[in-house]
Structure 1
Amino acid sequence: MAGYRDLLRTPGVGRMIVSQLTARFPSGMTSLAVLLHVEQQTGSYGAAGLVLAATSVGQAVAGPVTSRWMGVWGMRRVLSLTTSVCVLALLALGLLPLNLAGYMAFGMLAGLSTPPIQSAVRTIYPKLVNSSQLTPLFSLDASLQEIIWILAPVVITLVSTQVGTAEGLLLVAIIMVLGCGWFISAPELGRVRIPRSRRKLGKVLAKPPVLLATVIGFLLIGACSAVEVGVVANFDHGSLEAGIVLAVFAVGSLVGGLSFGHIPIGPWAIARRMLIVTVGLALTMVVLNIFWLGGALLLAGLGVAPALAVLFAITTASVKFSETAEAFGWAGTGQLIGAASGSAIAGFLVDGTGGPQGAYLAAALFAIVGVIVAVSCVRFLPDLRHRDPSPYPDTEPVSTITPT
């Protein structure tokens, strides 16, 4: 913890971490707020699911594009524009009398305009700290984001069920304005400029570590989403037991990230951490009571934030600085698709088997494939134990005036 205290004393680090967590807090609220509101207005969970699908598609498509825009127009302009549009779309969802097509249209608009906060802050991090502090910083970031997934669903559920679903969406919009405004106003955004990328959109995926980080992130988040479906199916919908077990899962990730964040990252790091997740998720199929599931998910959680930290680090270390935002945009898209795929597959298996075991099996299989991919592709993963994990500098010809 002394290392993390020193890290937080570095000028700008604490402000960046807290402001970006505040700006990203709505990401843990939006899906549930939209689900509850659309279901209440239409009386159909199917309709609500279609709106959520439209929102997710928008987020997945926009991630790499808006992240890349930051190198063209600057971080503040892109973040201000996307925040404004997203807030207006959320207000329209909450306040306008819409039919299903209208809800889907504004849901997709909200997804397309989701501010690329993650890409921005993870592009700024290498400019705030020295190379020896970068891996612990990524680990701290991955750990503290669990606070969002612990608190945000509780907050939005309380507001939407006790006050109103429109008020829930209004709260999401208010927090987005305040959080993104705080992040955008940070002086670090003015001091860090992302160079314009000279390569075509998507070319960054030709780098094996970036592609692997995207694929493994898809599998890791797919596993987490599948197990969440299993826990909800295991207990009554909205029950206290389900909330407790999922909170334990998030706490395990928080503890794991803080405990293992200082460990140097070698080529086998992601495989070892994914193995921890796999073992924990496999144990969920043994006994279905709250104590066993809590223990199994606590173990699985110990590997989640450390695994994400490795994915962040190998992405940063494998690209030029001008490509970091787009690379993280693709990683975010992979994780969004993983979340949707994991939830959908787990849901079908729960219906097909008549119980949560199908979802737990899906979660374990996602994680097992993640281990297999990490092991089989280990030769493509960088060894960061004895090298600077910062992105490569951008170089280009410099015009000079020579005497004639």
Structure 2
Amino acid sequence: MAGVIEEVLNIFATALDWDGEHKLLHARRTALLSALLAEEICPDMTEELLRAGLLHDIGAIGLTDHIIHLFGERNNPRVFAHPWRGGVMLSLMELTKEAEIVRYHHEAFDGTGYPLGLKGDEIPLGSRIVGLADYVDICLYQNPKITKARLEDQFRDNPQFDPKLVDALFPLLTPDIWGILHDSEAITEELRRFWLKERGLKDKADELDQLDLVVEVLAQIIDCRHTYTAGHSYRVSFYSVGVGEALNLNQEELRKLRQASLLHDIGKLAVPKKLLDKPGKLTAFEWRIVKQHPVLSRELLAMAPFFADIAPIAGAHHERLDGSGYPDGLKGEEIPYLARIISITDAFDALTSNRPYTKNLTVEAAIKVLQKSEGHFDKEILIASVPVLASLGNEIWRYDTA
């Protein structure tokens, strides 16, 4: 199995690379190209270059379009700032080496890059590698039928890139690698090969300890894509664990409940931002797209073996006890027990938060709405939830309005 952290980062990169209904390969191709170069130039940096390649555009979350469509638009403040923002986000996950690589990956060898205009050896080697891999993949995206020879011509004598890295990269693009770059499943398998090789004798317990931190930070990043969802996943997790404790769940169930709550909306990363931010009513077609986000959450989390038990929980957080929910219209016992908890806490947080389409309710008013909708929710869980939500909700309310 690949490293725990790498599996999580691969899930997140896959979510970021969903462009509406299309799956881009940008993050994974950038990671693979970076790893190939690392093996040749600096083998001891392969692990951090894999991670940095996967998440090099994490700072672009919140843009109206996928960053690959905005390439070169440095007059856009968010585009200009995305390398630096990405570095900050990775620092919060304690991925210090990766943070430095991402921070400078848009600097150019001739000093014409951004955000600082560094040049030559002022740019960290890892940043030069990811920057080259990033641009190679953008060229592949813009012209999928380009030949290796024509692609190489675009980089020879290009002053923006370290000539030693250009010389090293293209001989590595064998026919086999060239084919892998155009096959999403093959790319994932090739990345896993690198992960297995780099993982060596690492202590899995240490990785699992870091996993909790990475999941927390990723939840914050998911929420920061939209102003109105800031803190949503944390609050849902906070409420859910409180309800779980009131229901006397054991520690393993509470762990699953917490992780599923934090990551329940990861599928929203694959939904166009303009739909989630739309102030007016969605069309029937737009609503169908938005209603797919629990399916995407389930599929993304199922990619990692250690998230297999929370994938169906996250995927069912919009199901309702009477079968009126989505995406599958599950009812009663068909809905996982922990998902029935999250359905209540998620609805409560939505009611008490400002959204583009509605003003927030007070804690007391939101609880009354839930109680009037008890046919939608598990009665036993709802009864246990009310005092918890009243207490914790008012605690959050006081904090947010202080």
Q: TM-score band, normalised by the shorter chain?
A: under 0.3
Query: What is the TM-score when the length of structure 2 is the normalising length?
Result: 0.26
Mark the structure with the bigger radius of gyration.
2
Larger RCO: 1 or 2 (CA < 8 Å, sep 6+): 1
Query: What is the TM-score when the length of structure 1 is the normalising length?
Result: 0.26
Higher helix share: 1
